Chains A and B, each alone.
Chain A
């Protein structure tokens, strides 16, 4: 490529890269304008009808909870786009990446703002799809494809269960609007469908938010480029599940089932993932597992109803998004500068990358929970919230303590050691300070962590309290955010965390092999999932082999057997009444016709000659056509006659290549006869049953009356076909075309070799 061209491309990449930054900044500032009204407790609702007959609308709702999420999404989105414009600008799919990421941001905003559950589901699935595209962004690698598919299948399966739950909610309270469902909370909690609804929805939120035992897709999703990991898989998308649980908190919380499901799964996820995070040497994976820990903690707090737990939830949500997004971006800088993310080889980077090092330290101190960072306030509130839980406070507080200490250690491993502990390794690349576009995001996020820590009032009244109000219904329950709350139990636990965390960090290189030894023996969920998928595919292949044998006789037998079985069961279950046929006005012509048809049918089935069978089948068809004429249905009769002619032509053509009758199906004929007689008998019985009721002429009368004045036609059959029921006819002729084309394709591919 020549130089001017490259320069031009560079310019378009700058424009393309900065355009989404500008757009998302615009969105962010638009959401900022809602802060005053939301802080006053006013929520905004707007939207349009979508499918009003089903209660589905495209409606949106802005209150404390959704505004907090929307600000996090658009704010971090802006910084991540700025970062991406530099980080990934040389990739040949740069524009595609920006498009996916922007689509994701819009869908995510849709999730947190949607008021209608069905719209929420649609946006939810859009985030799943864009996440799939972004995880699989490096689709040339097997790992990229595998991880993307895994995330898609797991979150997709959860979402389907969730949709079932949503529909049950809709049936229970007669509305899909969240703002109305919350008002019906008491009906919902007392309803017999409460437990199924809750479990279905939790299946969706747990898969999306990677709760144990569905946690394994999230670390695999780190196959995505770093901005994606930072944006989707730590700050926003994985919190969609948490968001939904928070959104439904007012309607669902307060029962034992809710409390125990969220507490147990949240606490298990938090503890297990912090141990897993501790043992990682890949910085990005370590961060991924601490994200799991954060999601577990958030879930744990949503199980409660106390003001402390909710304040802890809201604060930790903001803290975590700030420092985790910053740390992911920092790891991306380090990876870019050195070419490695291995915690064992990295070291001494502070000299080459001083700004990155300071930013990393700031973010990590917020993560570790040092004063005066917002992380400290978050941690104090977490302890206060854990101690105030309704049941087993010691257990919950213990889980939080273990998780927090491990997180302290991980923060040090990720953000302290690579920069400040010297190492003698030579890097694949000579490390250099990251460019401004990549540093801007982490700098802003980390500084906000300390700014909000020193001046917690900024977020307390604007975001935290309104969020708590959305969860608990009133703003008074929200607890104050403050750095110094006096010497109390949370503070003592904080000090314990620091000591324990420090000890873990100092010993981490010795502890890691021991942990590896334990985990090597345990089967992982990841492998279990792969095995499950393999078995599933085997099962699919097996059942296809059995069902699609390629034997036409078998297909026909199955089809007619199913027809018989379903008709017979329905007839028996519905206690059909049969009216004995009325023979009073039978004519000799009628009897003759029936005898002709019966005779033709018997000869067709028993004859050994195909020519005879063809001829008698024709007789049968013409007999039926005469019956139609007798009942003055000329259209049907004409069609029947023409189709009979056509069948004779087709069979005559095919006759040459068909095998002899007796050699082909001698063994099966008795069975076939039984089935044929059974189908015939059940259809006759049903006809007799239908005749036992007086004929309902409403439809006939309507068509007779409407045909001429409304559709200008006197042939009612034709008017129905082309006017009243034109859509049905259209479907039928589409089927005809498809059948003809497939038969044509089949005939073309199975040309006998001898003829060519």
Chain B
């Protein structure tokens, strides 16, 4: 699509959407959001980019083929599930670590659940872009 306004606007919008998607991913455990929604929002950023500037530019900007991102996401999700083996828990039992926690302070929570959600994010993000890019290019 040849629109200067859209192209110019997209450069900011796409970035904002990506940052917003990460925000949605990280707040997901306590507020509405999460990996699935985050992945969808993130992919709309790149879809917008692809519509405005063409899929070729979008692929260059993404650097990694979207199908690879999806498969890496699936791998991360699997690893997140497997970590519980080291703690002799059943598959996919969430493991929590509170970095720098003290008696009064909870510290920074890091969990396999978050890793799993990041995997979900990447799967949704990569899969949607795989589909949209392929359709844009082939049809």
Contact = CB atoms under 8 A, between A and B. Distances in A.
Interface stretch (A482-490, A583-591, A608-616, A743-751): A743-751
A653 B54 CA distance: 13
A744 B31 CA distance: 34
A74 B136 CA distance: 66
Contact of B130 (A712, A721, A744): A744
Interface string B35-59: 1110011011001000100000000
A737 interface: yes
Contact of B94 (A639, A646, A726, A748): A726
A155 B71 CA distance: 41
A677 interface: no
Contacts of A646: 40, 43-44, 47, 128, 132
Nearest to B122: A733
Contact of B123 (A657, A733, A747): A733
Contacts, number: 142
Interface in B54-109: 67, 70-71, 73-74, 77-78, 81, 91-92, 94, 96, 109
Interface in A353-403: none
Nearest to B34: A718
Given A646-B44, A718-B33, A736-B124, A726 B116 contact: yes
B139 A712 contact: no
B135 A653 contact: yes
B36 A639 contact: yes
Interface string A677-719: 0000000000000000000000000000000000111110111
A722 interface: yes
Contact of A737 (B28, B31, B70): B70
A436 B139 CA distance: 74
Interface centre among A650, A656, A734 (most CB of B within 10 A): A650
A741 interface: yes
Q: Bin chain B's interface residue count.
A: 35 or more
A649 B40 contact: no
B28 A718 contact: yes
B123 A736 contact: yes
B30 A722 contact: no
Given A727-B91, A729-B120, A715 B128 contact: no
B37 A638 contact: yes
A635 B117 CA distance: 15
B41 to A, nearest CB: 7
Nearest to A649: B47
B29 A714 contact: yes
B36 A721 contact: yes
B34 A721 contact: yes
Contacts of B73: 733, 737
Given A643-B40, A737-B123, A715 B136 contact: no
B127 interface: yes
A719 B32 CA distance: 11
A552 interface: no
B107 to A, nearest CB: 12
B8 interface: no
B117 A715 contact: no
A740 B128 CA distance: 7
A171 interface: no
Contact of B28 (A642, A715, A740): A715
Contact of A740 (B30, B40, B70, B92): B70
Interface in A645-680: 645-646, 649-650, 653-654, 656-657
A721 B120 CA distance: 10
A432 B31 CA distance: 88
A751 B138 contact: yes
A715 B78 CA distance: 23
Nearest to A721: B34
Interface of A: 634-635, 638-639, 642-643, 645-646, 649-650, 653-654, 656-657, 711-715, 717-719, 721-723, 726-727, 729-730, 733-734, 736-737, 739-741, 743-744, 747-748, 750-752, 755
6 contacts: A646-B44, A715-B29, A730-B78, A733-B73, A737-B123, A744-B134
Given A718-B33, A726-B81, A733-B123, 15 more contacts: A645-B44, A653-B136, A712-B111, A715-B31, A715-B32, A722-B117, A727-B92, A729-B120, A734-B74, A740-B67, A740-B70, A740-B126, A744-B134, A748-B134, A752-B139
